[in-house]
């Protein structure tokens, strides 16, 4: 195992840039809600929402989406993944949803997340925001807001974890796994 | 015919020695401990084998007439022969019930035609096994029954039991009693206890047997007439019979090989082959039966061979019929008890030869000059695993499948004729 | 997370951590039933056969809803157990159903042992929906889930189970589960309705209900089966409800936050009076609601792939 932590400053810069881009792109914040895909996407969304609330002075709703029940590979798995709670304490009807994931790769998680969201209601529109886009798409899905493009071999994965360092909020580690 | 070089084991004379047997006209014509002369007649080489009196199984269900799809006289006798059993007593719970001489005659006639072994019918105590009116014991005795029993059903009415003992003794018949307080058993299907609660199966409390054993013993004591308690299974029964025998009550009893070797634990998988009456009990009960056998408190070992068809046994544990086959595992089970618990083989053998012969008042069950040439040749070393393929009965319901045994019947001879040969 | 079983036959088979996993996951599944669109695509294309050989409306409905909310196809087959005495055995029926390639069979049967046997012989998942006096594992899980939701933990919880313990698969499954989860269980019944070997269960036993009430966090009332009356287990409704019935006076002696549970269907006026059944302490409808979530969890876990595949 060869773990490479991405340094905290770089991560914070990426998050700040994302928040900045969002502020530039979206004028009306009244109907904007954030929905993070568990678990990495929720961490990223939380950080970005914190930054935006600081800058706009508004409360921005944040929900967490568990996509385990919407995966398309269940029948291929030996064991089903653990199911956690979808926790969206607001209606998505007529909202502008910023769907947040940590890493965009094949596009399958995003497909599942969109299916899940439309089961919850009918948003006005859905944007996709990701911290990293590592390519390798299997579905025709692209992000609207990308923190950083990154090239990684298939043996590597990016792990996003809650940080114990209060400065950082999230830790990003790139590590090699045996597939 | 000669049987040469084997070890003769005869409980009746308490003899265990190498000898040659000479059989002529269905009778043991001579025993030659020192070896014998050369002869032109057929010789069976029994070296390395044990030469035993043919076994007497006093408790068998042949299902004929009426339930021939489970077993009939022919298939049952094949199973007996393969198990080294040369005489068996068949119970009366057929359809029609053997409660009158015409059924007795039917069984004996058919046995003469098709049976490999000697078949001795047991008549019913009461008409239709209903426990109400006495059956025609005297006429059945004339026809050929050796004992009476309502086996399968208890005689619930104590007054009737008293009458039955007195009436049966008039004709020199022994009553074999199936002890079960039906009300206490209710819908029970296995031994009552923590395990029955765990499995969710209704229990049969041991006391439902004990109560009736105690009652039977008291009636026997009161009337002074012997009684035979069949298939005892509990510590309670053992204690009651022990007490009764000490006080001189003329009570005898038998136990099955499965109650000596298996416990209720066999029911854990809901295997209906482990469902029988009395039910397999717990380890303490089993060990008390072993101890009673060791202490010669138990007179006989009998199989309660009870064939049931596969479709009947494939039902739920709650509604599948009670019973298992046992003829072919009788002698191997006895060997196992001998090996596991160090009880002399010859004493155990008496429980399936001399003792049942004495209780029924019949010849056989011994090796001596002039007696019936019913002989079982037994290989005491052979190790084998009992499987469904070995079964000669029509029904294949045994919890012993997969059990490894030491000792196997090699050849069975009835009145000088070989009726089974394992080779 | 790995789930090692294709079947759920008995709480007795489960470890503490496994029960904890089920109870944790169930709240995620409960949330689905609160949505407008109460359906997720998870078990799309899977077939669940409900084989019910004993009258049941609530358990069958609950399983059916659970399967449908996970997008599985369901089909129900009801018959009386006695039809098997004429020729066709329950295993024949099971093999026949199996030939139609279901992914899961949910079975309710009047006698113990059949779900276990089916699980051993059939390649599909088998979930026991109650067999004889043996077990009713999903009922116990939904009861424990309801208690856990209410009290936060089962550890140290004092649970009184009142009534016909001997003939109750619900009581057995609950006792095994609650004991594993650290709850303290007291069984309240006349001696005629206690099962043999209850002393090995690790529970307290009381012949009287009144002294148990002030300490109990949960009072679970079992249904009185009227047919038991024929077998002389107790002398009649009137005496039973006097000594073992939950009524207003007894409810008033309960701890402030203690609750009432009942696996249903109730015999109002026998083991429970209307004012007890309908009081604010009653969790009876929560139990029903939670039943769907628990059964969704178990369908999800049981159909989650084979453990035989390497």
Phi and psi at A93, nearest 5°, equal -55, 130
Q: Does A78 touch chain C (CB under 8 A)?
A: yes
- Cβ-Cβ contacts under 8 Å, A65 against chain C: none
Structural domain of C124 = 11-135+289-302
Distance from C-alpha of C29 to C-alpha of C39, rounded to nearest angstrom: 10
Same domain, yes or no, for C114 and C163? no
Is residue C70 exposed (0-12), middle (13-18) or buried (19+ Cβ within 10 Å)? buried
pLDDT at A39: 83
- How many structural domains compose chain C? 2
Which CATH number goes with the domain that contains C207? 3.40.50.1370
Interface test with B, best of C10, C87, C111 (most B CBs within 10 A): C111
Does the domain at residues B54-360 carry the CATH identifier 3.40.50.300? Answer: no
Percent share of chain A, pLDDT over 90: 46
Q: Does C38 touch chain A (CB under 8 A)?
A: no
Question: Which residue among C85, C111, C231 places its CB closest to the CB of B186?
Answer: C231
Looking at per-residue pLDDT, the higher value among B378 and B37 belongs to B378
CA neighbor of C291 nearest in space, from C257, C259, C261, C258: C261
Q: Does C35 touch chain A (CB under 8 A)?
A: yes
Token couple for B114: 């098709």
How far is the first Cα of chain A from the last one, in angstroms, to the nearest whole number?
12
Distance from C-alpha of B412 to C-alpha of B375, rounded to nearest angstrom: 6
Distance from C-alpha of B206 to C-alpha of B233, rounded to nearest angstrom: 8
Distance from C-alpha of C209 to C-alpha of C202, rounded to nearest angstrom: 19
B32 to chain C, closest Cα gap in Å: 57
Same domain, yes or no, for C243 and C147? yes
pLDDT at C264: 87
CA neighbor of B153 nearest in space, from B172, B174, B181: B181
Any domain includes C103: yes
A167 pLDDT band, cuts 50/70/90, is low
pLDDT at A58: 87
CB A118 within 8 A of CB A66: no
Same domain, yes or no, for C145 and C269? yes
**Cα C117 to chain center, whole Å?**
20
Tell me the per-residue pLDDT of A10-67, one tens digit each, with 9 for 90 and over: 888 899 999 999 999 988 888 999 999 988 899 899 989 999 998 888 899 999 999 9
Active site residues of B: 304
CA neighbor of B383 nearest in space, from B421, B339, B416, B351: B339
A68 to chain C, closest Cα gap in Å: 8
Any domain includes C253: yes
> Chains contacting B with at least 3 CB pairs below 8 Å?
C
C28 to chain B, closest Cα gap in Å: 32
Tell me the per-residue pLDDT of B303-325, one tens digit each, with 9 for 90 and over: 999 999 998 998 889 999 999 99
Distance from C-alpha of C78 to C-alpha of C61, rounded to nearest angstrom: 12
What residues have CB less than 8 Å from C49, skipping those under 6 apart?
C74, C75, C76, C77, C97, C100, C102, C104, C105, C106
Phi and psi at B24, nearest 5°, equal -145, 135
Tell me the per-residue pLDDT of B5-43, one tens digit each, with 9 for 90 and over: 999 999 999 999 999 999 999 999 999 987 777 677 889
| Cα→Cα distances B325→A94, B80, B263, B309, B391, Å | 76, 11, 17, 11, 9
ipTM: 0.88
Look-up of token digits 């969201």:
A117
Q: For residue A39, is the peptide bond before it cis, meaning its omega torsion is within 30 degrees of 0? A: yes
Distance from C-alpha of C279 to C-alpha of C286, rounded to nearest angstrom: 13
- Are there at least 3 beta-carbon pairs closer than 8 Å between A and C? yes
Distance from C-alpha of C106 to C-alpha of C129, rounded to nearest angstrom: 6
Any domain includes C179: yes
- Cβ-Cβ contacts under 8 Å, C39 against chain A: 119
Q: Does C63 touch chain B (CB under 8 A)?
A: no
DSSP H or E run through C250 = helix C248-252
Name the stretches of chain C with pLDDT < 70. Answer: 1, 80-88, 227-231, 305-310
Report the topology of domain A4-72+83-176: Rossmann fold (3.40.50)
Any domain includes C310: no
- The matching CATH number, chosen from 3.30.230.70, 3.10.420.10, 2.30.40.10, 3.10.20.600, for B2-50+372-421 is 2.30.40.10
Look-up of token digits 């109002």:
C268
C179 to chain B, closest Cα gap in Å: 15
Q: To the nearest whole number, what is the mean pLDDT of chain A?
A: 86
Least confident among B98-102, B238-242, C266-270: C266-270
- Cβ-Cβ contacts under 8 Å, C104 against chain A: none
- Are there at least 3 beta-carbon pairs closer than 8 Å between B and A? no
B240-243 contacts at long range (C-beta below 8 A, 24 or more positions apart): B240/B210, B240/B213, B240/B214, B241/B213, B241/B217, B241/B292, B241/B297, B242/B292, B242/B297
- Residue B194's closest chain C neighbor by CA? C197
CA neighbor of B2 nearest in space, from B401, B277, B373: B373
CA neighbor of A19 nearest in space, from A42, A50, A41, A40: A50
Question: Which residue among B198, B203, B318 places its CB closest to the CB of C111?
Answer: B318
> Chains contacting A with at least 3 CB pairs below 8 Å?
C
Residue B336 DSSP symbol: H
Any domain includes C3: no
Q: Does C164 touch chain B (CB under 8 A)?
A: no
Domain range summary for chain A, segments of one domain joined by +: 4-72+83-176
**pLDDT surpassing 50 at residue B326:** yes
Same domain, yes or no, for C179 and C262? yes
Domain range summary for chain B, segments of one domain joined by +: 2-50+372-421, 54-360
| Cα→Cα distances B122→B137, B140, C225, Å | 10, 9, 44
DSSP H or E run through B76 = helix B73-82
């Amino acid at each position: 195992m060869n773990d490479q932590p991405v340094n905290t400053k770089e991560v914070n810069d990426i998050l700040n840039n994302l928040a900045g881009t969002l502020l530039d792109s979206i004028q009306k914040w009244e109907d904007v809600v954030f929905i993070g895909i568990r678990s990495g996407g929720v961490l990223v969304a939380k950080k970005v929402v914190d930054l935006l609330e600081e800058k706009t002075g508004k409360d921005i709703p944040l929900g967490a989406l568990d996509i385990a029940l919407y995966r398309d590979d269940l029948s291929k798995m030996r064991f089903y993944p653990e199911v956690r709670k979808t926790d969206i304490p607001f209606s998505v009807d007529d909202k502008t949803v910023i769907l947040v994931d940590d890493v965009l790769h094949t596009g399958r998680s995003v497909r599942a997340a969109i299916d899940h969201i439309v089961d919850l209601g009918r948003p006005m529109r859905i944007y996709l925001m990701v911290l990293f886009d590592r390519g390798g798409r299997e579905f025709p899905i692209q992000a609207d807001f990308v923190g950083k493009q990154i090239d990684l071999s298939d043996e590597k994965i990016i792990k996003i974890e809650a940080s114990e360092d209060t400065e950082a909020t999230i830790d990003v580690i790139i590590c090699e796994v045996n597939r | 015919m000669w049987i040469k070089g084997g070890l003769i084991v005869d409980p009746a004379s308490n003899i265990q020695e190498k000898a040659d047997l000479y059989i002529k006209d269905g009778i043991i014509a001579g025993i030659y401990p020192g070896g014998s002369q050369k002869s032109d007649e057929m010789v069976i080489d029994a070296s390395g084998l044990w030469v035993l009196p043919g076994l007497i199984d006093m408790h068998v269900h042949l299902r004929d007439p009426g339930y021939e799809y489970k077993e009939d006289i022919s298939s049952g006798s094949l199973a007996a022969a393969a198990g080294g059993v040369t005489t068996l007593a068949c119970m009366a719970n057929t359809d029609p019930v053997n409660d009158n001489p015409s059924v007795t005659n039917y069984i004996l006639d058919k046995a003469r035609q098709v049976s490999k072994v000697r078949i001795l019918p047991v008549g019913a105590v009461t008409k239709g096994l209903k426990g109400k009116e006495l059956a025609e014991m005297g006429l059945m005795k004339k026809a050929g029954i050796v004992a009476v029993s309502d086996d399968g059903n208890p005689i619930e009415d104590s007054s009737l039991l008293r009458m039955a003992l007195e009436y049966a003794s008039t004709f020199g018949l022994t009553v074999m009693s199936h002890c079960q307080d039906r009300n206490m058993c209710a819908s029970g299907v296995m031994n009552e206890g923590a395990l029955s609660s765990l499995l969710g199966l209704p229990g049969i409390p041991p006391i439902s047997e004990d109560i009736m054993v105690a009652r039977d013993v008291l009636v026997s004591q009161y009337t002074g007439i012997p009684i035979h308690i069949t298939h005892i299974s509990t510590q309670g029964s053992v204690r009651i019979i022990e007490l009764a025998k000490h006080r001189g009550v003329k009570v005898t009893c038998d136990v099955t090989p499965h109650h000596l070797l298996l416990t209720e634990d066999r029911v854990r998988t809901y295997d209906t082959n482990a469902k029988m009456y009395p039910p397999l009990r717990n380890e303490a009960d089993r060990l008390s039966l072993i101890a009673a056998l060791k202490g010669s408190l138990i007179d006989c070992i009998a199989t309660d061979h009870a064939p049931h068809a596969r479709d009947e046994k494939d039902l739920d544990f709650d509604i599948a019929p009670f019973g298992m086959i046992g003829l072919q595992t009788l002698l191997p089970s006895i060997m196992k008890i001998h090996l596991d618990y160090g009880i002399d083989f010859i004493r155990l053998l008496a429980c399936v030869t001399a003792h049942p012969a004495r209780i029924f008042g019949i010849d056989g069950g011994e090796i001596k000059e002039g007696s019936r040439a019913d002989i079982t040749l037994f290989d005491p070393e052979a190790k084998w695993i009992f499987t469904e393929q070995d079964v000669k009965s029509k029904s294949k319901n045994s919890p012993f499948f997969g059990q490894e045994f030491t000792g196997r019947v090699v050849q069975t001879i009835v009145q000088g004729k070989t009726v089974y040969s394992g080779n | 997370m790995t789930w090692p079983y294709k079947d759920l036959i008995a709480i007795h088979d489960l470890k503490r951590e496994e029960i904890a996993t089920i109870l944790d996951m169930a709240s995620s599944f409960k949330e689905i039933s609160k949505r407008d669109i109460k359906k997720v695509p998870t078990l799309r294309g899977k077939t669940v056969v409900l084989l019910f050989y004993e009258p049941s409306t609530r358990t069958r409905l609950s399983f059916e809803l659970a399967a449908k909310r996970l997008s599985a196809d369901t089909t129900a087959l009801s018959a009386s157990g006695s039809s098997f005495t004429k020729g066709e055995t329950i295993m024949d029926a099971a093999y026949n159903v199996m030939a139609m390639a279901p992914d899961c069979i949910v079975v309710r049967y009047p006698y113990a042992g059949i779900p276990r046997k089916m699980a051993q012989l059939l390649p599909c998942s088998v979930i026991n929906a109650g067999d004889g006096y043996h077990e009713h594992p999903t009922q116990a899980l939904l009861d424990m889930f309801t208690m856990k939701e209410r009290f936060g933990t089962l550890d140290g919880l004092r649970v009184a189970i009142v009534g016909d313990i001997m003939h109750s698969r619900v009581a057995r499954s609950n006792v095994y589960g609650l004991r594993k989860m650290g709850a303290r269980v007291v069984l309240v019944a006349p001696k005629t309705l206690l099962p043999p070997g209850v002393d090995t269960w690790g529970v307290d036993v009381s012949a009287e209900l009144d002294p148990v009430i002030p300490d109990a966090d949960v009072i679970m009332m079992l249904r009185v089966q009227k047919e038991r009356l024929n077998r002389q287990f107790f002398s009649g409704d009137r005496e039973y409800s006097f000594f073992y019935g939950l009524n207003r006076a007894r409810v008033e002696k309960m701890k402030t936050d203690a609750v009432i549970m009942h696996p249903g269907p109730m015999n109002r006026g026998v083991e429970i009076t209307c004012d007890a059944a309908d009081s604010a302490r009653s969790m009876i409808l929560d139990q029903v609601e939670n039943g769907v979530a628990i059964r969704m969890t178990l369908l999800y876990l049981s159909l989650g792939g084979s453990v035989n595949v390497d």
